[in-house]
């Protein structure tokens, strides 16, 4: 399985203004979450406008053609404090099968697994002010997770180990901004109607 098709990362060096959005946080297990752009449903996205700072970030991703000719229309902001993480999961078929994640403040370790409870197949130390994109097999076939712990140790599975400067990284508060493309309810309806006509 060719590694570049699974996951790649590069420095974005973002200088972002993220306004105070304290009223928008929703408490989740092991993190806090904000949802922007609308509500994703099986029938499509019930769309709402993105806030200006996410539109500005979307502009950067459009310029870099991260989603090809598509423009991100949905954003999640997660806040992880210290040893917090997220359980292994797949994002599912309602999204365009590519994910762009900007990390701010602290670092963390992303794990990719073949099975829900199997050992990690590979892992990636995601540093502050970086952009992580995964797609193809990493999206469709592998589960991804952030293990809950205070320290991330670099191992033989850490695919970006050659570019790192330490053997272990202490975690601190981390903000992640996940941008995706979600077909809207109207787009899903048009797609269904066009299939019915053909």
4 pLDDT above the threshold of 50: no
- What pLDDT does residue 18 have? 56
Instruction: State the number of CA atoms in the 13 A half-sphere of 39 facing the CB.
Output: 4
- What pLDDT does residue 127 have? 92
Pick from 34, 127, 125, 18: nearest CA to 75 = 34
Q: pLDDT digit string (tens) for 56-90?
A: 899 989 998 999 999 999 999 999 998 999 999 99
Q: pLDDT digit string (tens) for 167-185?
A: 999 999 999 999 999 999 9
Q: Which residues contact 81 (CB under 8 A, 6 or more apart)?
A: 31, 173
| Number of domain units in the chain | 1
Q: pLDDT digit string (tens) for 117-147?
A: 999 999 999 998 888 999 888 898 999 999 9
Domain CATH number, residue 63: 2.60.120.590
Pick from 90, 94, 165, 174: nearest CA to 134 = 90
Give the helix/strand (H/E) hosting 10.
strand 7-11
DSSP 158-176: BTTGGG-S-SEEE---EEE
Show the domain range for 53: 3-156+165-197
- What pLDDT does residue 22 have? 62
Q: How far apart are CA 141 and CA 153, in angstroms?
A: 25
- The residues pairing with 19 across neighbouring beta strands, listed in sequence order, are none
């Amino acid at each position: 399985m060719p590694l570049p098709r699974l996951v790649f990362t590069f420095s974005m060096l973002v200088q972002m203004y993220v306004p105070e959005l304290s009223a928008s946080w929703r408490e989740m297990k092991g993190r806090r979450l904000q949802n922007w752009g609308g509500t994703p449903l099986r029938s499509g996205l019930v769309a709402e406008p993105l806030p200006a700072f996410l539109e500005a970030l979307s502009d950067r991703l459009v310029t870099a053609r991260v989603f090809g000719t598509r423009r991100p229309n949905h954003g999640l902001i997660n806040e992880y404090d210290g040893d917090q993480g997220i359980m292994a999961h797949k994002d599912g078929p309602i999204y365009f099968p590519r994910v762009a994640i900007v990390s701010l403040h602290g670092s963390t370790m992303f794990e990719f697994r073949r099975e829900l409870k199997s050992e990690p197949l590979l892992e990636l130390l995601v540093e502050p002010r970086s952009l992580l994109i995964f797609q193809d097999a990493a999206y469709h076939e592998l589960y991804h997770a952030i293990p809950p712990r205070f320290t991330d140790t670099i191992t033989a599975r850490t695919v970006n180990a050659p570019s790192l400067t330490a053997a272990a990284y202490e975690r601190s508060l981390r903000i992640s901004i996940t941008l995706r493309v979600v077909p809207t309810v109207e787009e899903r309806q048009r797609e269904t109607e066009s299939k019915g006509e053909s």
